[in-house]
Amino acid sequence: MHSTPPRLWRSRWAAIGAAVAVTLGAGGLATTFAASAPSSLVAISPVRVLDTRLPAMAPALTSATPRLLDVTGAIPTVGADGATLTNATVVPDGATAIVANVTIVAPTTAGFVSVRPGTAAGTPTTSSLNAAGAGVVVPNSVTVELPTTGASAGNIQLWFQGTDASATANLLVDIVGYYQAGGTGATGPAGPAGPAGPAGPAGPAGATGARGVSAWETIPSGQTVTGEIVWDYSAAATSSDRIGVTLPALAPSALSDALVNFDADASSATTDDDATCAGTTGAPTAPAGQVCIYLISSGNLNSVEGRRNPLLARNGFVISMTPTATSTDTFLYATWAYTAP
């Protein structure tokens, strides 16, 4: 009975540079490389990338003589007729590992085959498949890490070890899948957008502002109303002019001339400046029961003063103006505020 020297047996283990943890759960197959970034498996239809029996892919492996095989990018592949070679990309550049069926065919002696990353050095201490004797055909599935940088990037190393230095063996390599970076725990390409979820609950209502008033209502006590005055007169000057201003609603009580005032030092032309008018042109305010006028600009006016409207004492007020004698263009721009007492 033939016996194989013990030194030729190696543990049957896929040659891969880093330990691989594989879990299968509800989400499918996920893999994690302990010594590198996580990768995900891409299964493909088997493609033969080496058959040393073919003249174009010869010679057979010789004992203790490593052979590099490039498996990424455009490489020679064996066609459906088993003899014709065609260049094709089976594994993309940058892949981190491959899954392959490796078959030893008719070794001249017993031995083992080790499939390792292309950067492996020294005599292997593990085997990918074992041949018990000469002439046998033995297949096995292997997973082998791929270098991604350097001269050996994308290469695997094939090593046959026979019982003597001249031993040879033919080898077949059929790739059935590869790993690419970006699997579990890594950032991969974005998947398609999922369906829109249900609408969330309505947000809280915003704050309610103060209620406005209509022209036929009385302005509520303490409420301030504001407005703007734009007056431009380009005809020949007259001895006096008036601008009538109507409140948006009725004042609670009639206005008097003393209650219609310009802000303090609004202009050298204003004659009824009042320090209690403490607002600004952009934010006009008024004390309770009073109208305050804030002059933005004026031109060609000798005097300007505020007065009650004698006909509409609860609806508005007027601004009286005395233009310069020679003026043909007088103007006044102002803002105002009234606060109901």
Between 81 and 236, the more confident residue is 81
With a cut of 80, say whether residue 290 has pLDDT above it: yes
CA angle 98, 79, 108 (to 5 degrees): 70
Range in 34-43, 137-146, 150-159 with the lowest mean pLDDT:
34-43
**Residue 9: closest CA among 84, 110, 97, 101:** 110
With a cut of 60, say whether residue 323 has pLDDT above it: yes
Look up the pTM and report it.
0.48
Task: Locate the domains of the chain by residue range.
Answer: 10-181, 224-339
So what's the pLDDT on residue 207? 87
> Could you tell me if 47 and 175 are in contact, meaning their C-beta atoms sit under 8 angstroms apart?
yes
Question: Any residues with CB less than 8 A from the CB of 242 and at least 6 apart, and which?
Answer: 318, 319, 320, 321
Q: Quote the mean pLDDT of the chain.
A: 85
Between 21 and 50, the more confident residue is 50
Percent of residues, the chain, with pLDDT higher than 90: 64
So what's the pLDDT on residue 189? 62
So what's the pLDDT on residue 267? 77
With a cut of 90, say whether residue 329 has pLDDT above it: no
Range in 28-32, 140-144, 194-198, 233-237 with the lowest mean pLDDT:
28-32
Give burial (CB, 10 Å; 0-12/13-18/19+) of 15: buried
CA distance to 9, 71, 178, 309, per residue, from 151 (Å)? 31, 13, 20, 98
Beta bridge partners, 305, equal: 320
So what's the pLDDT on residue 184? 52
Range in 28-37, 50-59, 120-129, 161-170 with the lowest mean pLDDT:
28-37
With a cut of 70, say whether residue 32 has pLDDT above it: no
**Residue 181: closest CA among 268, 114, 284, 92:** 92
**Residue 299: closest CA among 330, 266, 275, 337:** 330
With a cut of 70, say whether residue 223 has pLDDT above it: yes
- For the residues 8-34, what does the mean pLDDT come to? 36
Q: What is the rounded CA–CA span in Å between residue 239 and residue 219?
A: 35
300: left (phi over 0), alpha (psi -120 to 50) or beta: left
- For the residues 323-335, what does the mean pLDDT come to? 83
CATH of 10-181, one of 3.30.200, 2.60.40, 2.60.120, 4.10.780: 2.60.120
So what's the pLDDT on residue 182? 75
With a cut of 60, say whether residue 20 has pLDDT above it: no
